[in-house]
A and B are shown apart, each in its own frame.
Chain A
Amino acid sequence: MSFHDVISRIQHMDARVVRTIMLLAIVIPLANPLPVPLVVTANPQALYDFIEGLPVDSVVLMSNETSAGWRPNLHGTTVAVFAHLMRRGIRVVFNSFTPEGTMHSEQAINDVAVPMGKVYGVDYVHLGYRAGGEGAVAESLRDFHATFTTDYNGTPVEELPLMEQVRTGADLALCVLTSTGGYAGGGWVRQLVEPYGVPLAVNVTGTMAPSHYPYLDAGQIIALMNDTKGGAEYETLIGRPGLSLSIMGAQTFSHLLILLLLAISNVAYLSRKRGDQK
């Protein structure tokens, strides 16, 4: 049996076998997390340094415009950044312009603020969800109190001590946007960065990250957190292993398997092409 025959057989093996191997490449590292040494890249480091440099009396907006399906990719970053802010004593306001984003904000609050003993209404506030997309973003930054008359729990915003100091977008020191689609970073650059001059950090999926590089290069975004790796690097920076680091093992092996399959496919193609030429 020639080399070409062997490679061709591997290339044409039953799709169920390929998918089973992929399943094992994901499940085994998830069940047995491996320590993965990470080199922290520029963007997570930039966001970390920026938060480290914020005055303690700052208020940061964390807007979760996410959907449930992308939780493993982005939630680790949200939790890590929120934990960093809470550790520094910086106050945080959560809001969302997608229905499912509120659940992610609640999960981050339960994972970080509650165990830390932070006080709701003083250290952090969850404003909840408003429909209307970029128009709602613009209107909320013009007047938070008019757009979010009550918080996620139904409490009038006027009764929350933290919200006495947050009226418009100009009162924010930073916005950390977590997004899985739609207008994403571009919309917030238009509605927050340009009118109010507030720094914006963006936490997006790997497929969305490339489209944000023009804003990053122009300085309109101060940090671009790319999917799970961005979150894993941030968890490494703050010394708080979480969801993203636990996924890196599975991501590593699944990526390596894809690269192996690509290699087999191209070796088979070149072998077939050489055979045809002969």
Chain B
Amino acid sequence: MGSKTIPGIIVTTTALVMIAEGYLNVDLFKTVGSEFRAWSIIIAAFALGLAAANLARFHLVRVAKRNSGWYHNLACLIAMFTLGITGIFRGPKAPTYDFLYTNVYSPLSVAVVALTIFFIATAALRAITARNAGATILLIAAVIIMLSNIPVGDAISPMIPKFAAWINKIPNMAGQRGILVTSAIGSIAFGLRVLLGLERTQFGAGGG
């Protein structure tokens, strides 16, 4: 038996049980399926720990080798271990952890997300133009949606929120339904490939 055979058997068996649980009203499948889901919660928790260990190893190696920008890696490690050790030994409700999360981690996370507005501002001034019919329609829709997201839109005209609602409910929904259906079909196809053992990328082998 190859090294990929046993994992493949485990994946196929688990998938068949979970599918059977969904389609057949049999107590055995429901019990086993529930147990599998409980195991997945435990595995996911271990995966979090593994991810943290992997991250630490990656950055430690770069610091040890003094790679370019190694001080950024060191800063990442210091931040990670400070918050992690504080949370583990003092608990997430401790004042120290709360201070670090509320006054350091949270504002920095918000700042990273907020950076996008500055790039959007530059793009709006330089790049977003009505070069063709499609771009014009996109631009008009974007303007209406943006105006509907601020109180000024209601003040300019009551038609703006109505037109924004129409954009969301008709063309947007049509597109989103298409995406939902195609992604569902894609998920089914991928699931079938996993069931049949054709998809082996998760085992580190090439696909097909």
Contacts and interface: CB of A to CB of B under 8 A. Distances in A.
Contacts of A147: 38, 41
B106 A68 contact: yes
Given A11-B126, A269-B131, A259 B146 contact: yes
A155 interface: no
Contact of B105 (A68, A131, A251): A68
A153 B92 CA distance: 9
B88 interface: no
Given A11-B125, A131-B44, A269-B130, A71 B37 contact: no
A67 B106 CA distance: 9
Nearest to B49: A131
B26 interface: no
A26 interface: yes
Interface string A146-183: 11000011000000000000000000000000000000
A262 B176 contact: no
Interface in B109-126: 109-110, 112-113, 117-118, 120-122, 124-126
B121 to A, nearest CB: 4
Interface in A3-25: 11-13, 15, 18-19, 21-23
A53 interface: no
A70 interface: yes
Nearest to B152: A252
A103 B101 contact: yes
B146 A136 contact: no
Contacts of A72: 110
A259 B41 contact: no
B121 A213 contact: no
Interface residues of A, number: 67
Interface string B162-175: 00010011001100
Interface residues of B, number: 54
Interface in B35-65: 37-38, 40-41, 43-45, 47-48
Contacts of A153: 93
B139 interface: yes
B151 A19 contact: no
Most chain B CB atoms below 10 A, which of A26, A70, A102, A261: A261
Given A229-B150, A264-B125, A210 B37 contact: no
B9 interface: no
A258 interface: yes
A38 interface: yes
A261 B119 CA distance: 12
Chain B facing A: main interface SS: helix
A142 B34 contact: yes
A37 B129 CA distance: 32
B44 A132 contact: yes
Interface in B152-207: 152, 154-155, 161, 165, 168-169, 172-173, 176-177, 179-180
Contact of B176 (A130, A211, A256): A211
Contacts of A132: 37, 40-41, 43-45
Among A68, A142, A217, the one with the most B-chain Cβ atoms within 10 Å of its Cβ is: A68
Contacts of B125: 11, 13, 18, 261-262, 264-265
Contacts of B40: 132, 135-136
B41 A39 contact: no
A195 to B, nearest CB: 10
B79 to A, nearest CB: 13
A18 B139 contact: no
B133 interface: no
B128 interface: yes
A214 B173 contact: yes
B128 A262 contact: yes
Contact of B93 (A106, A214, A261): A106
8 contacts: A18-B122, A19-B121, A36-B151, A37-B154, A39-B151, A262-B124, A262-B139, A269-B130
9 nearest A-B residue pairs (beta carbon)? A131-B44, A69-B109, A68-B109, A132-B41, A69-B113, A261-B124, A269-B129, A132-B44, A139-B37
